[in-house]
Amino acid sequence: MNLRALFRPSLEERPGDVGLEFGGLQCSFGELDLRSNRLANLLAAEGFESGDRIAVYLENSIEFIDIYLASIKLGLLFTPINILYRDREIDHILRDAEPRRLIAGRNSPALENRDALVAEDLAEAARRFSSDFTPCSLKRASPACLVYTSGTTGRPKGAILTHGNFAANARTLIDAWRLAPDDRLLLALPLFHVHGLGNGLHTWLALGYRTRLLDRFRKETIIQEFLDFRPTVFFGVPTMYERLLDANPDTARSIGQAARLFVSGSAPLPARTFERFRELYGHAILERYGMTETLMNISNPYDGERRPGTVGLPLPGVAVRLQDGEILVKGDNIFAGYWRQPEATAAAFTEDGWFRTGDVATRSEDGYYTLEGRRTELIITGGFNVYPREIEEFLREQPGVADAAVIGVPHAIKGEAPAAFIVLRPGATADAAELQTRCRAHMASFKVPIVFTCVDRLPRNALGKIQRHLLAQRSD
Ligand code: MLC
Ligand code: AMP
C-alpha cells in the first residue's frame, strides 16, 4: 500500500465532504485534491522529478498540506525542516539532502540569504495551472519522506521513510486505537515531525475524519480550541498535557465528556500527570512509544489497562525484543535507512535485521514495557530532541570558551531542558547572557541552555569522555 492509496477513501471518494478546518476556513477533500494537482503541475514545471528532494520549512497550514500531497503525487522525497531551526541547522539539512528547491513561508528566517520558493506565492501561482494531474506510480518501497533526526554524532541524519512504512503505521494505529470516520481530531502538533505527520495527518487522510489543524499549539488558546471544536481524539506530547492541567475543573470535565481518546508520546508522560489528567478530564491518557526511524512501536491498549509509567504492549505487526535491555524492533513500519549514510544504517541494524532503537526498557511479566533510559545522551524537551554534542560544539566555537558540556536537567513543564557547563580560557570572563544570546541566534530555541555554570574543568574519565552523571549531581 502507498500513501495515495491510503488517502483515496477521503481525497477521491468523499470529495464533497469538509475534511479540514484551519484558521476559520473550511476545506473539502475534493478541494485539497485539486489544489495539490495544480501545485504538482507547477512543481513539475519548476523541474521537480520523481526522486528529487523537496525541502519544506513551513508552519502548519493548508499550503503545507498542498505541498505534501503534491510531493506524493510527483514521487518526491518530502523533507520537512523544524521551523524552530536557525541558519546552522537549516544549512546542514540543505547541504545533506540536496533538495531541488527549498520552500519556505513568507517572512520566515529561512528566506534570508537563500534562494527559496515562497509557499504563499506558489499557492497563488498554482491557481493558473490545470487541476488534472496524472500521479506517478508508487510502490510500497518508494521513499516518501526524508525526516532529519537529531544525530548522536551531533549532526542530524536523514531517515528515509517509505510509503509502506507510513501506510503500515497509519493502519495499525487506526485498528489499535479504534479511530473511525466519525471521530474529530484536534491537530496541534507540528507537521514537520512524524508524530504530527504520520499519526495525525495520515490517519486523518486515511479515514476522512473531520480535523481542525492549528498553526501551532498555544497554551493561551488551546482550551478554547477544545471547547469550540469538541474533538473526540487528541494526540499530544507530555508538555501539552501539562498545559491542559491548567483548565478549570468544569471546563476540563466538559472537554473530557466530548472526547473519546487522548494519546501521549514522543517523551515520557509523568505518572503524576496521568493521574491529574484522569481526575480533571475523566480520561486515562493512552501512552505509546515511537521514533522517527520506526514510527510507532509499542502502545498501551485501547481496551484493557492503560498503565501509567509504561508504554504498553507491542503494536500488532511490530515485533519487539530486548537485547541487553535495549529495545530491538522489526516490522513494516521500520525505515529504509539513513540518507547517504550506509555505515550508520548498517550500524543501526543487527545482522538479522532488527533495528536497534537505543532505548533501554524492562518488560513486565504480563508484557508491558517500561522505558528506563537511553543508550545515548539524548535530551527530550517539550517533545523535541536535543543531542548535547551539537550544543557543546557550538559553545566551544565561542570566544573565551575552552570547553563545554551540556546535560539535561529536570523541568516541570518540558520534562527536561538543556543546561551548560563552561570552562573559560585563561583571562576570559563569563557572560552567560551573551552566550545565551549567541545560542538563540544560531539554534532552535528549545536547544538553548536554560543555565550556564562556569567550572574550572569538566569531569572526564580516562578515555576523555565527559562524565555527565557527575555534572548532573552538581546541578541539583
Ligand atoms: C514552540 N514554539 C514554536 C512552536 N512550538 N514556535 C513556532 N511554532 C511552533 N510550532 C516556540 C515558542 O515560540 C517558544 O519560543 C518556545 O518554542 C516554547 O514555547 P512555549 O509557549 O513555552 O510552549 P509550550 O506551551 O511549553 O509548548 C511547547 C510545545 C512544543 C509542546 C508546543 O514543545 C512542541 O510543539 N512540541 C512537539 C514536539 C514534537 O512534535 N515532537 C515529535 C517528535 S517525533 P521562545 O523563543 O519563546 O522560547 C517523535 C517520535 C514519536 O518523537 O514517538 O512521536
Ligand atoms: P525522535 O528521534 O524525535 O523520533 O524521538 C524518538 C525518541 O523519543 C525515542 O527513541 C524515545 O527515546 C523517545 N520517546 C518516544 N515516545 C516516548 C514515550 N512514550 N516515553 C518516553 N520516551 C519516548
Q: What is 177-216 written as a DSSP string?
A: TT--TT-EEEE-S-TTSHIIIIIIIHHHHHHT-EEEE-SS
25: CA distance to ligand 2 center in Å? 33
Q: From 138, 170, 196, give the residue that closes a domain.
A: 138
**In a domain? residue 156:** no
> Which residues, other chains included, contact 423 with Cβ-Cβ below 8 Å and sequence gap of 6+?
401, 402, 403, 404, 454, 455, 456, 457, 458
380: CA distance to ligand 2 center in Å? 8
Looking at residue 472, what is its pLDDT? Answer: 86
Q: What is the DSSP letter of 447?
A: G
389 lines ligand 1 (CB under 6 A): no
Q: Which domain holds residue 448?
A: 378-475
Is residue 293 within 8 A of residue 345, CB to CB? The reply is no
Q: Which residue's CA is the nearest one to ligand 1's atom 2?
A: 84
Closest CA to 121 of 197, 67, 80, 71: 67
385 and 362, same structural domain? no
Q: What is the CATH number of the domain that holds 62?
A: 3.40.50.980
**In a domain? residue 159:** no
Looking at residue 45, what is its pLDDT? Answer: 97
Looking at residue 153, what is its pLDDT? Answer: 60
Mutate to test the pocket of ligand 2, among 165, 173, 263, 266 (most ligand atoms within 8 A of CB): 266
**In a domain? residue 164:** no
105 lines ligand 1 (CB under 6 A): no
* Spatial distance between the Cα atoms of 121 and 377, rounded to a whole number of angstroms: 42
318 and 466, same structural domain? no
| Cα distances (angstroms) measured from residue 252 to each of 141, 229, 260 | 44, 14, 13
Q: Which residue's CA is the nearest one to ligand 2's atom 8?
A: 266
**In a domain? residue 105:** yes
217 and 74, same structural domain? no
Tell me how many domains the chain contains. Answer: 3
388 and 370, same structural domain? no
* Spatial distance between the Cα atoms of 224 and 360, rounded to a whole number of angstroms: 38
**In a domain? residue 53:** yes
397 and 331, same structural domain? no
pTM of the model as a whole: 0.95
Round to the nearest angstrom and report the end-to-end CA distance of the chain.
Answer: 51
For the record, the C-alpha cell of 347 comes out as: 550500524
347 and 254, same structural domain? yes
31: CA distance to ligand 2 center in Å? 35
Beta strand residue intervals within 123-162, DSSP E: 143-149, 157-162
Mutate to test the pocket of ligand 2, among 291, 299, 311, 372 (most ligand atoms within 8 A of CB): 291
| Cα distances (angstroms) measured from residue 380 to each of 287, 298, 386, 418 | 16, 18, 6, 9
Q: Which residue's CA is the nearest one to ligand 2's atom 9?
A: 291
Q: In this structure, which ligand is nearest to the CA of 292?
A: 2
Is residue 11 within 8 A of residue 37, CB to CB? The reply is no
Q: Which atom of ligand 1 is nearest to the CA of 289?
A: 53
**In a domain? residue 178:** no
Q: What is the CATH number of the domain that holds 414?
A: 3.30.300.30
210 and 338, same structural domain? yes
422 and 408, same structural domain? yes
Q: In this structure, which ligand is nearest to the CA of 378?
A: 2
Q: From 357, 374, 391, give the residue that closes a domain.
A: 374
**In a domain? residue 48:** yes
Q: Which residues line ligand 2 (CB under 6 A)?
A: 149, 265-268, 287, 289-292, 311, 357, 359, 371, 374, 380, 385
Largest Cα span, the chain: 71
268 lines ligand 1 (CB under 6 A): no
290 lines ligand 1 (CB under 6 A): yes
Q: Which residue's CA is the nearest one to ligand 1's atom 10?
A: 216
Residue 102 parent element (H or E) = strand 101-104
272 and 123, same structural domain? no
Task: Say whether 160 sits in a helix, a strand or coil.
Answer: strand
| 48 beta partners | none
**In a domain? residue 172:** no
* Spatial distance between the Cα atoms of 157 and 54, rounded to a whole number of angstroms: 16
382 and 367, same structural domain? no
Q: From 318, 340, 374, give the residue that closes a domain.
A: 374
pLDDT per residue, tens digit, the chain (476 aa), is: 999 999 999 999 999 999 999 999 999 999 999 999 999 999 999 999 999 999 999 999 999 999 999 999 999 999 999 999 999 999 999 999 999 999 999 999 999 889 999 999 999 999 999 999 999 999 999 999 999 997 656 678 999 999 999 999 999 999 999 999 999 999 999 999 999 999 999 999 999 999 999 999 999 999 999 999 999 999 999 999 999 999 999 999 999 999 999 999 999 999 999 999 999 999 999 999 999 999 999 999 999 999 999 999 999 999 999 999 999 999 999 999 999 999 999 999 999 999 999 999 999 999 999 999 887 889 999 999 998 988 998 999 999 999 999 999 999 999 999 999 999 999 988 788 999 999 999 999 999 999 999 999 999 887 778 888 889 887 76
Closest CA to 39 of 12, 9, 74: 74
59: CA distance to ligand 2 center in Å? 22
| 370 beta partners | 362
291 lines ligand 1 (CB under 6 A): yes
Looking at residue 165, what is its pLDDT? Answer: 98
CA 243 to chain centre: 19
434 and 347, same structural domain? no
444 and 365, same structural domain? no
94 lines ligand 1 (CB under 6 A): no
Q: Which residue's CA is the nearest one to ligand 2's atom 15?
A: 266
Beta strand residue intervals within 237-351, DSSP E: 261-264, 286-291, 295-299, 313-314, 318-323, 326-331, 337-338
